[in-house]
């Protein structure tokens, strides 16, 4: 088109692409600003004495990789299991069938019914 002197048509055809590129550049700048702010918040949350562990990530473009690469250093250990490492798997409390039926007899109740009721109440705990 330029050889033919059709500069206006060339300008109009390229203007739409340039406007779209400008919008994408603004969006990219906003995303980069958000990412840098998020990385700065993550780094300021780290204790001061542990920050030197990330010297190789000192360049701003590498900040996102530093907390991820050193997550093992900064993460807290998993809490102990709720059963106090007794080896239970959360299957509920164990019922002593003989003791429950003996108690039902002492109370003058049906032993089988009393045991079934104890099983139901143990499951719902």
pLDDT digits (tens, 9 = 90+) for 12-53: 888 888 888 899 999 999 999 998 888 777 777 766 656 555
Say if 124 falls within a structural domain: yes
Domain span at residue 125 reads: 92-125
Give, in degrees to the nearest 5, the angle at Cα 25 between 23 and 29. 120
pTM of the predicted structure, to 2 decimals: 0.36
Same domain, 43 and 69: yes
The domain tally of the chain equals 2
Say if 80 falls within a structural domain: no
Helix, coil or strand: residue 63: coil
Same domain, 22 and 70: yes
Same domain, 35 and 64: yes
């Amino acid at each position: 088109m330029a050889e033919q002197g059709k500069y206006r048509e060339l300008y109009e055809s390229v203007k739409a692409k340039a406007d779209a590129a400008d919008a994408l550049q603004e969006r990219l700048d906003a995303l980069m600003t958000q990412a840098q702010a998020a990385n700065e918040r993550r780094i300021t949350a780290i204790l001061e004495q542990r920050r030197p562990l990330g010297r190789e990530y000192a360049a701003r473009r590498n900040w996102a990789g530093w907390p991820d690469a050193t997550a093992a250093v900064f993460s807290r250990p998993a809490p102990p299991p709720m059963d106090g490492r007794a080896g239970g798997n959360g299957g509920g409390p164990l019922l002593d069938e003989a003791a429950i039926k003996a108690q039902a007899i002492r109370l003058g109740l049906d032993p089988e019914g009393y045991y079934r009721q104890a099983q139901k109440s143990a499951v719902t705990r």
